[in-house]
Structure 1
Amino acid sequence: MTDAIRAEGLVKRFKETQALAGVDLVARSGTVLGLLGPNGAGKTTAVRIFATLLRPDGGRALVGGHDVVREAGRVRALLGLTGQYAAVDENLSGTENLLMIGRLLGLSRPEARARAAELLERFRLGDAAGRAAKGYSGGMRRRLDLAASLVGRPRILFLDEPTTGLDPHSRGEVWELLRGLVSEGVTALLTTQYLDEADRLADEIVVIDKGRVIAGGTPDELKDRTGGQVLELRPVRPDDLDRAHALIGEAAGPQTRIEGGAVTAPVNDPELMPAVVRRLDAAGIAVGELALRRSSLDEVFLALTGHRAEPASSPTGDAEQGDGRPDAGPGDTGRNDSYEQAGRPS
C-alpha cells in the first residue's frame, strides 16, 4: 500500500509562534488518518500546508507523491478540502453551488450539471436541490459542503473538523458518507476534537501537541500504550464520592478523577481492583457500580496532553492561525469569492 500523504520534518512559524516544529506523519492510501491535538497544536496549519495554502518553512510534504511546494498544481488536482464550517453560498441552490464548483474546475456545463445531480442524490439532497442553501439545516449544509469537495473526484480528502456544531444524527450521516468514500479508495486526513469520531473512523492516529508529534498508532495501540483498562466506580451514596476519590487516588495515583458521578482511574497493576475493594470496605463506603473497561480515546488524549479535547470555538481554526496567513496559494479565496469572479452559473 502506497503513501497518499507524507510529511518529513515539517516546520512552520508565524512570527514568534512555532506552529509546527518538525512533524513527521504518513497516511496510507485508502485509509483515514486522524490528526488529533489540543486547539493551537498545529493541526489546521498542517492541513493548509498539505492543501498548498501555506508554504512550510522547513521540511517537506508530499501529497500523492508530489511535493506541495514544487508541484502545487498537481497536488491540487488530487485533493478536496472541507473546513470546519460549511463554505457554501447561501443564496445559491444546492444545484447551483455544485454547478459553480464544476465550472470552476473546468467541466463543461452538461458535465457539471450531471456531476451535481449525481452528488446531490448520493448525499440525500435531491429533494432540496432547487432550494437556496440558506434554508438548509446544519447537517444538510455540511453534506452539501462535502459534496462540493468531491465534484472533481479527488483521490485525497482533507477534513478539518468536519462535524463541528452538528447534532449526533447529522454527525452520524457524515460518518456514513466518509466510510463509503474510503471504501471506494479515497484517502482522508481527518482533524477532529470529537475523539469518538476519530475512534470510529480512523485507521491510524497521530497526536500532535505544541507543533510536535507526541504519539501515533492505531486507536487500539494508543489505548494499550497509555493504559489499556480503566477502573470505574460509583458509590451508592453520592455523598461518599469525594471520599471514594481520595481512597482510590491513594492506590491508583494522580490520574484518578471524578466524572459524571463516578470515580475513574487507569489500571496499570492487576492488584488495583482488590486493593480498592478492601479500602472501600474498610472505610464503610457502599459500592453501587464497580467495573473494569477499556480506555477511551478521550482518556488516551488526557494522558498524552494533560487535558481533555475541546471542540474548536472559532471558525478560524487553530490558534496558530491568528498571526496571519502568509503564502496563501491560489484557490485560497473561498468558494464565495470564486463565485464572484466567475459569475453566476446557469
Structure 2
Amino acid sequence: MAPNMFGSSATLYLETSHQEKSATEKASNQTLQSQKSSTQSKYKWRIVWRNVIAFVYLHLAAVYGIYLSFTAIKLQTTMWAIFLAIFGGMGITAGAHRLWAHRTYKAKWPMRFMLMIMQTIAFQNHIYEWVRDHRVHHKFTDSDADPHNAKRGFFFSHIGWLLLRKHPDVLRKGATVDMTDLERDPIVLWQKKLYIILVPLFCFILPVWVPCYFWNETLYYSWYSTLFRYAFSLNGTWLVNSAAHIWGYKPYDKNIGPTENKSVAIIAFGEGWHNYHHVFPWDYKAAEFGDYNMNITTALIDFCGRLGLAYDMKTVPVDVIKRRAKRTGDGTRYGGNEDSQSHGDHHNHEDMKWGWGDVDMKPEEIQEVHIINKSD
C-alpha cells in the first residue's frame, strides 16, 4: 500500500470515519422528530480534499494500468487481477451485502471468515461501516439521509458522496438503525479492530507480490495492474448506487427510485436487479430469478448451501411477488393497475426496511418468506 495515498486511517474514505463516528454517537440520543427540512437549507458542501486527491490518482493510475495491460503487463498478471476483482467483489455481494447487511441467509464461521477476507481485498471500508451505511441507504432511500442519494445526480451517487462530508441527516437518522447483530459477530469485530493491517496486506501487498514472485512480473507493472483492478472493482459496486437508481424498469414498485438494470447486474455479479431488491431486501438472491448467468453471487451462496456452509436462505414465493408487482409495479413484468405505466416521482420512505430483522417488518412479510436449508 502507498502510505501517502491513503493516510493513517487506512481507508479511502479517509478523514470521515472518526469524525462521523463521534457525531453518530451524539446523535443517537436524538429523536427523528428533530430533523426536518431546515437541515437541508443549512447544509453546505464540505469537500474532503484528501479523498479527491486519492481518487484522482487512483483513476489516472487505473487508466494507465489498462494501457499497460495491452502493451507490457504479462497475461498472467492480468488474469490474476481479474480473478481478484471477482474474488473481492463476491466478498462485497455475498458477504457485506447479502449476509451481513440484509441477513438474507446465515453462514457458518469458515464461510464468514473467508467472506471477510474477500471483502477486505475489495477495500470498501470494514464490514461494520459498510453495513451501517447500506442499511441507512435502504431505510431512507434517495432522501437526504441516504449516504449516496441518487436524487443529487449520477456523479454524487456514484463517487461524489465519498468526496464530501455526509449530510447531517445521514448521521442523525443513521443512529436509529440497529447494528447489534454485527456487534455480536466476532469475525466482524476482529476485522474492524485489525483493518489498518488487513487492508494493505490483502488489497495491495499480496496482490502486487504474487505476480512478482511467481512469474517475474516487474513491481512497476504489478502495482499498476493492482490499481486498475481496485478501481474497476470500486466502480462496479458504485454503479449499483448510481445507474441502478436512475436507469431501468420498476416492475415491483414504481414509487421508489431503484430500478432493474441488466447491465449493472452483469457487472456487479447479480446486484443490478435493484427494484426487486429494495422491495424484498431479505431475499438472498437479491432478484426474482435465480439465473446464474446474471447472478453469480446466488450461485456461490447456493454452492455453499450444498456444502452445508450456508443455511436459512430466505426467498419470496412467486405469488407474493406477483401480488406486489400488480399492486405497485410499472406493468413491465406482470401488468398492474391502471396507473402502472406512470413513472412519476412518488417516492415513499415511510415503509422502507433494510432487511431481515428490521423492527418495521410486518408479521405478514415475515410469514410470507420461504426459507431454504432451514436450520433445526
Q: Indicate the TM-score class for this superposition, using the shorter chain for normalisation.
A: under 0.3
Q: Which has the larger helix fraction?
A: 2
Q: Which has the larger strand fraction?
A: 1
TM-score (norm 1): 0.26
TM-score (norm 2): 0.24
- Between the two structures, name the one with larger relative contact order (CA 8 Å, sep ≥ 6): 1
